[in-house]
Structure 1
């Protein structure tokens, strides 16, 4: 008994009847594209590069809703149009046409918050729709229908506003590969729509990315300017406080010197003091001298970046006439209204801190007039009530255009005024006037020298 042996590398079964070669090729391409898209989807399905949807920072609610309204409008239009075109023009069954319409358009709503996930769904649905239309053998535009191109461009726009350049480049390369592969199997008589999708998607991704990067750059610039302005304001405040501290050193040093002298001379001025009291006065004098020495060291630190002019004696309201005279010579007409002689005697008893603060407030107000309102007529009024020293500096509109900022001022404008007033427990009100002028009004507590504990 003999039987013919079959070679191991051959199948003994008879070959089955194979379908048309073109369909077999399409099926293989479909399987390959699905596998490739699955890997691409897993690789690209990461959260959006930006944490917020487009126009999320808009102040008006209807502006924030624009992306959703736009996407919803395209979904409402594309689903019935896609279904009708596929069913009537391409001969696709109604159920399959409706499913493709929903799969190709509905993810546009998801693209607002998760554009990468929406793109993965849409590209798969578009490829399946292209394969379906190619298998119909029609002579219409292939492989992409007009509805596919519109929906794909919209999702590319959402992608470009959220994702990085590298991700957008990968998405466009997938689009190019899918378009070229599917275009190779279209009928010779059909219109090639692959180039149109490649060009439109590339232009949309590029322009959207440039628009997003420009907006990001402007936002970072605004944030940096805000930070710089805050730091500049803080630095100005600290510089003004340091300058005020340097000026007040003379006031505090005077009080410490008085304490030292009084403690040293008390045993000689007061007869019959017990030894314990003499020792106590000596201890007070020693502590005062030590404190005065430490204050001089502190002043040396504060004046490390100061100007030599800061070492001169600090001025007070008695120097107002000289300040006004110098300002008038600079071209600012000034009317000075001062208290009468009896009130001036009372004014001489205010604390040095109030006296210095009042002078500096008027000086800074006049400096601002020279900077911002050259030639404006200015009125300075100094009055007293029972508890307060009142200062009022009012200037009219400028008579000529300011040429450049003067740098002879002693402080930082309103910042210095507010700090000085806060230091002595007063109030200040400054602001523009309807006629174009400016007004500075300060109220300082009229604390007397003999009301302290020194």
Structure 2
């Protein structure tokens, strides 16, 4: 395999680059979203159109006058050229590359038409209105098109200016330098601003994704915690079923063989369910945490919880109506909701007055925790786990209840939960 000479390789590389630049001029950026289309306010979204229309009208009128008076063109010709060099600014709001092709064609036609005007007529081939419109178009291009496209546009502008200066140095030399310098500066500035904006948008998007992942992680952790706690509650009932089913043939005399066999089947099923629950709990505790052997708390321990909160500096009180016997799951959820709410009071409103109220309404347990002003109540701080309100919502959702949280008119915070009780004979009275 022969290695191509370095000169040929450089020529091929240069040709490839020129081909890429040419394709960039023919391929606009994907989509035709207008400038500032993502703004929330309507007047901001309409601003690019208003500015483009105002600039087009201004440059159309001034361009017509300049071409007719300074360059001596017929009014109709001057108006047509000014129209081709100004109206593309309106198109540039959504399709800047297409607008550049139209305006460039207008500039070339204007240069050919004014090439034979007197030397003192004005700058050539860039009359002042034409140059101003072209600079505006460069800004629209820089904010929408890719960097390779911007480079190709600037190189075409440079080549055209060099050719014009070579054809008519006295009239085009200084104008060519100004055009190349100003257009390049605008393209570079706009490209930098757009790059910075895109970087900020990507950073904000990553932050939103990270926040969503944190919320999801918090939710999953809280669900696992609730599942571990409810395991103990369900395991207790399953254990009772197992013991009663195993001991039934010995406690009840005269049972037929079919009943004894049925009790044995119930006991075996209960033991199997307990084994499956222990395996599930092992998965939930895959982080290596040791199992909690302590019994799960309930509403009976709320007085002790309130006393602990008092020792932390919160003037807490408990008012409990007669709620009757509660299922363990409901009692545990009520206790955890009160615990999380009071923990938020201690964390965010130290020294505040807090009141815990338990009441029964039909077959529903009502739990209310309300505190007065102090600190910043009800707001999860960086020092917390972030599980407080999430845990409350999950526990209430588990029981098909309802949760309301929010600030009070007095400047405090209120947590209100409705926990339905569905077990027959165990509802609040």
Give yes or no for the alignment of 1:115 onto 2:96: yes
Larger Rg over CA atoms: 1
2:219 aligned residue: 237
Q: 1:434 aligns with which of 409, 412, 418?
A: 409
Among 388, 392, 395, the alignment partner of 1:417 is: 392
Q: Give the aligned partner of residue 77 of structure 1.
A: 58
Contact 1:351/1:449 (<8 A) preserved: no
Query: Which residue, out of 336, 352, 356, partners 1:360?
Result: 336
Which secondary structure state, in structure 2, belongs to the residue aligned with residue 112 of structure 1?
A: coil
Q: Name the structure 2 match of 1:445.
A: 420
Distance 1:98 1:129 in 2: 11
Any conservation in 2 of the 1:87–1:93 contact (CA below 8 Å)?
Answer: yes
Q: CA 1:40–1:246 in 2, change beyond 3 Å: closer, same or farther? A: closer
1:305 to 276, 279, 287: 287
> Cα deviation per residue 1:64-99 (whole Å; 9 max; x = unaligned)?
222222222222222232233222212234443233
Secondary structure of residue in 2 paired with 1:244: helix
- Do 1:49 and 1:164's aligned partners in 2 also have CA atoms closer than 8 Å? no
SS at match of 1:384: strand
Q: 1:86 corresponds to which residue?
A: 67
| Residue aligning to 2:14 | none
Of 390, 397, 404, the residue aligned with 2:373 is 397
Counterpart secondary structure, 1:236: helix
Q: Which residue of 2 aligns with 1:374?
A: 350
Q: Which moved more, 1:253-262 or 1:188-197?
A: 188-197
Tell me the C-alpha RMSD between the 2 structures.
Answer: 2.7
Count of residue pairs the alignment pairs up = 406
Write the distance in 2 (CA, Å) between the matches of 1:110 and 1:158. 10
Question: Residue 53 in 1 paired to residue 28 in 2?
Answer: no
d(CA) in 1 for partners of 2:21, 2:273: 76
Moved more, 375-384 or 188-197: 188-197
Shift of 1:244: 0.6
Report the Cα offset of residue 439 of structure 1.
Answer: 0.9
Give yes or no for contact 2:126–2:175 (8 Å, CA) kept in 1.
Answer: yes
SS of the equivalent of 1:335 reads strand
Shift of 1:248: 0.5
Contact residue 359 and residue 366 of structure 2 kept, 8 A: yes
In the TM superposition, residue 269 of structure 1 has moved relative to its aligned partner by 2.3
Q: Deviation per CA, 1:278-298: give whole Å up to 9, x if none.
A: 212111111111111111111
Number of the residue aligned with 2:302: 320
Q: Does the 8 Å contact 1:381/1:393 carry over to 2?
A: yes
Q: Distance in 2 between matches of 1:149 and 1:356?
A: 76
Q: Give the conservation status (yes or no) of the 8 Å contact 1:389–1:446.
A: yes
Q: 1:86 to 1:307 in 2, by over 3 A?
A: same
Tell me: CA distance 1:399–1:85, structure 2 relative to 1, closer, same or farther (3 Å): closer
- Alignment partner, residue 335 of structure 1: 317
**1:399 CA displacement:** 6.1
What is the correspondence of 1:120-159 to structure 2 with a 5 Å cutoff?
120-139=101-120, 140-159=122-141
Report the Cα offset of residue 178 of structure 1: 1.0
Q: 1:394 to 1:189 in 2, by over 3 A?
A: closer
Alignment correspondent of 1:274: 256
Q: Which residue of 2 is the match for residue 20 of structure 1? A: none
What corresponds to 1:289 in structure 2?
271
Question: C-alpha separation between the residues in 2 aligned to 1:113 and 1:252?
Answer: 63
The 1:102–1:360 alpha-carbon spacing in structure 2 relative to 1, beyond 3 Å, is same
Aligned to 1:5: none
Matched, 1:214 2:189: no
Deviation digits for residues 188-231 of structure 1 (CA, Å, limit 9, x no counterpart)? 37872112211221121112112212222222222222222222
SS class of match (2:92): helix
Change (3 A) 1:133 1:187: farther
Q: Deviations over 1:300-338 (max 9, x none)?
A: 111222644734221111212221222222222212223
Q: 1:14 matched to which residue of 2?
A: none
Q: Is the 8 A contact 1:153 1:201 kept in 2?
A: yes
